[in-house]
Chain A
Amino acid sequence: MELRGWLAANLTDDIVAVARRRRSDDAVFERLRGWNRAMADAGWAAVSWPQQYGGRGATVLEQLVYAEETTRARAPLPINVIGMNNIAPAIMQYGTEFQKRTLLPRMMRADDIWCQGMSEPEAGSDLAALRTRAVRDGDHFVVNGQKIWTSLGHHAHWCQLYVRTDPEAPKHKGISCLIVDMSLPGIEARPLVTLNGDADFAEVFFNDVRVPADALLGPQDGGWQVATTTLSHERAAAARLYVEMRARLEDLVADFARAEVDARPVLDDPAVLLRLGEIAVRIKYLEVLCQRSVSATMHGGDAFGSASLAKTVWGEVGQDLGALAFDVLGPGCGGRWADLRLTSRSLTIAGGTTQINKNITAQRVLGLPRR
């Protein structure tokens, strides 16, 4: 309720509208950064963080309420959300006191923008095949290689970078994690223009970059375990996947309610209602799936591989929603739904493809043999 009051007082229509515009526009980016800072100063940017780092130590259930409330108000996500959800937990677990004290507060306020250097051209689904090399030279690592699909890479001040430090070891055992200052000489970040013309991602090139050895996060050659911490936090975030999708469905129905095709209200068309119903059922069931997952976590129940399942369902239903919206509204409504029709392709690719998720379900949950 405290949050609801704060949102009512601080979230202007203007900020809600800005979030729908493209972040490749610098003015849009800076407005969203300002919103991140406003949330942080009020203690609403990173509620899951422990209080000692400026968070609220929110439980999983409280995080769900937070997601419901901020989404209901259509508040933009903090721009540094990847840093706060995916990188910060690793810094808290593996970082030095100095790293925690200097990096985390500025991350929370978006004073520094953070990116994650994981995927590479030759290491997509097979992340552990990454090739970017870091060679120890005195009190530095010398880094060479290329990252891709780096969200915010061209805006970032810091990068949580995964590099290969032992090329002789088995592929999971020769990886280390570095916290890299993106202003170091030899780093070049190029915006990667995606299919809809936006540029949320970057390609980042490392050419003889000298990174101080104390940038190491976690043990040398122990980067895979750092990455797994990060990824398991990403899975905890799976519990809130339905919230965003439900909001999208509500927005679509609101646009449908104003739309006509051949002088007939769209919502009088049984074929539209049927497809809407098909999507609504699955979004509701995704919600219950997420709640079952939270319940299992809290009460020691069987987690039934719910995170990868929820991610798969989310991607599929999101694409069906994008297809319905575009089929009915076309490029109308400011192009929002045409954009979703295109960008929803990423829902079954980013953060682990649906096919990899199905492999995980088949092998780890259903116990089918690996080849």
Chain B
Amino acid sequence: MNLELTDEQRALRDAVRGFLAEKASIEGHVRPLLADPTGVTDAVWRGLADLDTTGLLVPPEYDGAGMTMVEAGIVAEELGAALYPGPWVSSAVAAPRALTRLGVDGDAAELFGGIADGSTIATVGPLTGRLPVAVGQGESALLRGEMRGVPDAAAADIVLVFSEDGDDTGLFAVDTTSAGIMATPERGIDQTRRQFRVTLDGAPARRLADASPEAVRALTDDVLVATAADALGAARAVMKSAIEYAKVRRQFGQPIGSFQAVQHLCADMYETVELARSGVIHALWAADAANPAEKHLAAVRTKAFAGRLATVGDTAIQVFGGIGYTWEHDAHLYLKRLLGWNTFLGGPDRYLEEVGARLARSLLREKHTRGFA
């Protein structure tokens, strides 16, 4: 049993961390883009592509790095810690995993290539809610309908759309420059992430693959787990920042971090962050290595824990005190990143209930097969 990072994984983490600190700081990159609908600049996106992070999950036969969700999680954690506002989870995780989970091949090579080298930004919708409807036969179709909560649609060149297609569900590619597609920003709590209502009014689309419910669920789990890693990074960063502040901020003639009441707030944050890290480590591993049921449960757990993880943002602001309540301070950006994860694809309660229901079912089944239920 070895849960330590390999030397290669460490190098990847350090490279991404170093790049973001230098080229995508909160002051120099994140804040200037808060009101920007795309959240991305060419220079930083190119830098992330040059570090091979956009092609991490693209199979090697399509010029990608062919790595696993474990490596994607390492990158996502660093991006979350830096509050990176661009479309990385959409384009580097959701899109390539949609293509691989659905077994897209042949013509898809072109899409994979652009995603891998960063020249194409892609996103995926909708993972929940009503699907648009495809009209037309064969490889070309027109899509009609409205999708809610599509991430990064303004930055994307391509939207991969799950659509009703007769009695089936299919995955279609829509070029965002084509007529008949329109993206309107949705109000969210987290200004470092963008979601859109995307209206398809006869948008021309290319059919890529059949979408089985199992494959869509597996993809959704991948997106959840990558976003969980991002949230872990955000929680870790704001916790560390609050702890450092507690060491230097003095009141009553001593650092506030010497007071037990403050120490226990910090220990509580640490406990929550390390529990979340345990969940993320397990779910990232399970995404590519476990059976479908265990993989799904691992992803559901990370969402179920999202409410608790968000308390790290709340507690950090408490440690900062008044300064943490200001717009100027970065703590609120972290809290919002965590709150965005908290409600992403539904609040934690239904996921908690699902974990409970699955536990009950699995134990009862086990007892039955053992014969002493």
Residues of A within 8 A of B (CB): 61, 249-250, 253-254, 256-257, 267, 270, 272-278, 280-282, 284-289, 291-292, 294-296, 298-301, 304, 306, 309, 312-313, 355, 357-359, 361-363, 365-371
Contacts and interface: CB of A to CB of B under 8 A. Distances in A.
Given A295-B2, A363-B263, A313 B364 contact: no
Contact of A253 (B271, B352, B363): B363
Given A277-B352, A369-B258, 10 more contacts: A280-B359, A285-B282, A306-B274, A355-B260, A358-B268, A359-B264, A363-B263, A366-B266, A366-B270, A368-B255
B164 to A, nearest CB: 30
The interface size bin for chain B is 35 or more
Contacts of A267: 360
Nearest to B262: A368
Nearest to A371: B258
A304 to B, nearest CB: 7
Interface string B266-295: 111011001110110110000000000000
A362 B262 CA distance: 9
Given A277-B353, A281-B304, A368-B243, A301 B266 contact: no
27 contacts: A257-B364, A257-B373, A270-B353, A272-B356, A273-B352, A276-B355, A276-B360, A277-B304, A277-B356, A281-B301, A281-B355, A285-B301, A286-B275, A288-B281, A295-B2, A298-B2, A304-B274, A313-B275, A358-B264, A359-B267, A362-B263, A362-B267, A367-B243, A368-B255, A368-B258, A369-B247, A369-B257
A366 B360 contact: no
Nearest to A367: B247
Contacts, number: 150
Nearest to A363: B263
Contact of A256 (B257, B260, B360): B360
Given A273-B353, A366-B266, A299 B2 contact: yes
A316 B286 CA distance: 27
B354 interface: yes
Nearest to B367: A254
B240 to A, nearest CB: 9
Interface in B1-15: 1-4
Contacts of A250: 363
Contacts of A361: 267, 270-271
A295 B1 contact: yes
A371 B359 contact: no
B16 interface: no
Contacts of A288: 278-279, 281-282
Nearest to A60: B1
A284 B266 CA distance: 23
A85 B2 CA distance: 25
Contacts of B161: none
Contacts of A313: 271, 275
Interface in B325-361: 349, 351-357, 359-360
